[in-house]
Structure 1
């Protein structure tokens, strides 16, 4: 029969080696399944549970609840003495059942013991009760003598765990602080603990046993000790040493609970530790039970230390941060510190290396190295091939890029050069077509020439615009426009071309009644190119359908969708991704008939992208193509610098400087105000020079120069009233010429008009920045140039007339350049400061200002139409008007204060200058 805590009782049948399980389920007579102890007395087995006592009869094989009821519900410890008494010890007291007397009695001496651990008897029939709080108590029933052993009367501990009787009347008790050997009759007491050589001091409850041979065993929480009192206990100077245990990082290392320690160190003195388990303490003890505290120890760790460490009675050794390896811990003991002998106990300690330093680790490194070499070789080979391929592709891309740039640069330069011949074609043609004497047949031919000239100009402009986009210099100019008229004009422009090829042409506009935000010029270019391509690649009898639709996504975002579809020759789908590349030609069925420049679709793609839109194409060979363009037409889609202010106004081809605003005047009025002004024309193209001279010679005196250097010389010789100069010339170009003339005080007043084949805002800005007054792009129409000259001269003349009639006008307002304004203001200030000086004359001004008399005269004549003397007089008169108007003096006083010799002389000069007498002037 075996007691099983919490699970009842197991009864082993020795005949069949099978267990019978007894518990409260099949035997309710048992108070609880929590079984603590069994006691076999005669034909009965007493069973102690957590809820009372049961009795099993070996004869009847039956269980019964033990009486009296006082033991119900409590845990009981049993003991059977030599007087046939069964002792029951519990938290409610100690009882005994006398079988001889058949009586159940209570031992009232020990009612205060509530934590009884055991009840035992010795050879003298004395009862010994061990308590976990009050100590060990003995009781002689015959003499009623009581023995008390606890810390209050010198016993080493009060927590009594177990008890055994030794030889010669000595009793042994274990507790929470070692072992105690005592003799009640004599009062002898010997205490054994760590200092006495015990490997441990903490023992377990009821863990003791005495064998028939006299061996006494006590169980502890870390092992078990045994001894035989028959052995001779002489003190040895040279002692055997045992290992009491080991701690790892200050935690006990228990056999079987950790892989490092499978069994006791004394049974198997070898331990394997992981490489991080390198902080440990080894505990040892000399086998000496009689000389308390007299053991001394020495140890050393082989392969770490080279000499013994003599540590007195310290019974442990601690090592930290040991590296991987094999170590041997040697320890020996002595009782007199002199006799050590040669016998030492040895513990083998193996600290495993980390995986990366183990044999498996090095094998893995070797395999990884091989793998890395293979991978490195493979990757290096692949990279080398990729680099070679990338280098080949890069060179090919660079070649194509350079080729395309060369083509584009070549075409751009050629286009610039073509602008001048086009000017020489368009200009005379315009004048010829204006001739009423031209026959209808000849006029028709001339119109054909003009149309082709304009077509050539359109191609040139496309190429130049594409170049500007490529260089990032083309800007978006979005304005709020109604594009229905623009779309109608585009439709009408292509109707005749479609009819000539018998192509059915439709142009559908949907939901476009309101204004949208769009760059009209770029929209026009996109539509013209797409429709031109569609007509070009569609055979006679085909169809071209154009649809322009406004898609309203919500109240804020709107999109313009353009679809251009045809049923022409189509495009191979494999080549669709290249059709927007510059200079790419689509290979079609009729390729020889429709070869193009390779710029149109590339320009369309760039314009759509610049307009923040997308373009797509669907096509198949022989089935035509459908181009779809979409871009936003909402205000929020564009930045402020992309919005064009005043776009609803007409923007002329001529760009004026900010401080010049031309006033339109009839030609006969110019002739009346200007007697053949002198105009200098500078251009390295002799044909264009002759054309401009022929255009202007009837109205103006024209002098010419073939380049910038000669132009500078002509300016110094003649000081013309206006200069017309080309920009691109050998030597001194138009920009440098303008910069030099505008920085020279002698010529800074001369208006300059620049002619250029270079289009674009950046070139225009550079020209105006150098001081040019106007900027005209080639080709230009003759009447535009003539009107510009008239406006310039009229503006100058009007300012002079106003200066002479308006006394309130500042003299500096007649000048346009900053240097001229500064000069006029300097002269005027000098006159005002010395207005009452009698010697204020031309010589005084020349000396004070530091310029020649002739230059002073020329500058004042060109700017104010006054000689130096007349200009001095005009300033005097203006100052007099100011004094009189402010009420500071009368006419006579003003005359004297402003340097006139008499009021009569003042009045005569006043009437000559302003046209009325002083009195009449101020009466108004």
Structure 2
């Protein structure tokens, strides 16, 4: 910093940051500022300094950080200090309250300052504080210290502002990177001066603005300095003329008298313009005859019937119209020069002719097109058959390709299926041999090893088949209500021996109340088995299982403290045959978790590995309810005591039921027959066709059949049984080596009552057979003994339900007929007497006459609850000759009198 002599310009004093006595910390002096108390402030790149005249040195202003690069300073009319920085925003200091603030740009704050680079701070005569930045002009709100921004959106030529001055008329003069701006006191009026107005350059300099006592203003720019006094400006009051100078149609200039030209003279002298429909895209160019700064002239236009208001074009002197609709328009244009003088309006009438489609020729063409359309329809109808045939051929080809593809992917599955039949013949006799006593201890040990490896082989086959099933996808599970808590407890007991052998700490948290959910039991057991088995297999000391539920879902958490699975393998472990390196020595196929994951998704749930530093945590989430749910009811409690059991039921129970076993493997057929012979009367068949003949000639109570057989397979046989009215009531158990859910669903869809996978336990097959026979008998007894049970409750398939509904409807239609008998009912049902008798007996365990009587009594039970009828009226309405006979029959069948029944249901 140098102090100069005013007259000679000689250096009187030199201050430098290199001289410690000066107090300066920077030699980069950006600007000076004189405060109201005449103190001199020096603005540097390393702080603000006050000159101490007595000590002849500079003192740092401590209330502004020394580390900032400052550009300017301002003391406002309230005595507040404002400092602008190069990149750190705007700083504020109130000497009275000692309050400090820093205002920096934040894109989230619309009321903040627009930029962190402050070029100028200025207070006008209205005490408005203005901040010029590199990105907008800011007006400070003194009360809440918010900022109002002025940018190119407000009409400014640039967002870079350098300096601010105010003239005697209260106008602000702003220097920018694209010209000089006169900004009116209303903060709306903007007038821009550029090189067209005499400026040396549109680019101005930093800190280059000064106003002297006479009102003369001085601004420095890149090419020198300009000076003017706004009071001496003279206003140009000349009203310029405006002309249309050019016409372009479809982006091509139109020359006068050219072949396609719609004008015969210059467009500047045309008052009316007629255009064809294909000329509806055009543009007009116009110019205002203003020779002073013509590039600053602004234009407005209006097109009547399209624009009701004037459209501002800015400095653009060209307007485009695209595909104007046919009609009449008036185009108007006017201009405003740089001195604020409006030109006179000019008008041009424009007519767009209608398109060809609205002409007479067009209607003739429409007629021709209609005729052609009728002709096309006739031709189309002739070709329609050919098109349909082509589609059928394509469909058949597609189906054939699908069959070939399915045959390829089923090859591996079928090989595994073949293993299951010999496993059945091994497992069955092994279980029987293990139940015997032997003199040597080695024999049971060897047999146990055989059974263990048989079970191991069966498990591997099952896993492979289940995995194949999940790969095929598109399978539909059967969702029934299950006690999930009980299933988890059972699996805990199942693995209890393995837990004891490994000495594991096992925590089981199931809550106080059991949790029920609709799941596919077999599929859900596979999920639990894989999760719990993996947790035990790979744990070190501790395993825990937690089960809880919320309003819609159940959550099963399985933890173990084994080697932590890396989180980047979170999804990889659910891929088939994937094994974590650390567990490569453990047994298993590597498809357990993949199968569990697929089955969880089929339950509309999820199975995930949860990130944890100390435990491997698997979380299973399954909805409590599914869209398609099936209700399985427990056996109804017997309404009658043993002494009250009907005589017919006792006789049937003591008789051996006839069971038909259908199996093409002679060894397996002989094995099953031998095991069941002690309980049932056994009939045998080697294929489905032979079995159907036996079923039509014998009174069969149960069919046990293999699926894969020659001549006629089990699926086809089951479908024929269930769709035949005479045999649809017979329960069917299917035996198969195919253990996939798809195979089970195929069997169940054709009406099979149970599905047993090979190799099977003979005890399990016996229980299944006994349950099917006994459950049907109990359902029959419940129907006969319950007043309000409906006849369709004893139907086991759609064929039986359809038959029973029709039978019930016909009985009810003729219920008042006291002579309704088997013969008349058979005639109504269009069946022979013997066929109807046998069908009713097999389904309901009742004779037709007994069934007619029970339907009468059940209808009476409904009417008894209606107080509008007397007892004798009800007896007549249901076909009884007397009230006494009705009451005696009601008491016999339902173990209560009609009066007791009414009292019990009120």
TM-score w.r.t. the length of structure 1 is 0.42
The structure with more radius of gyration: 1
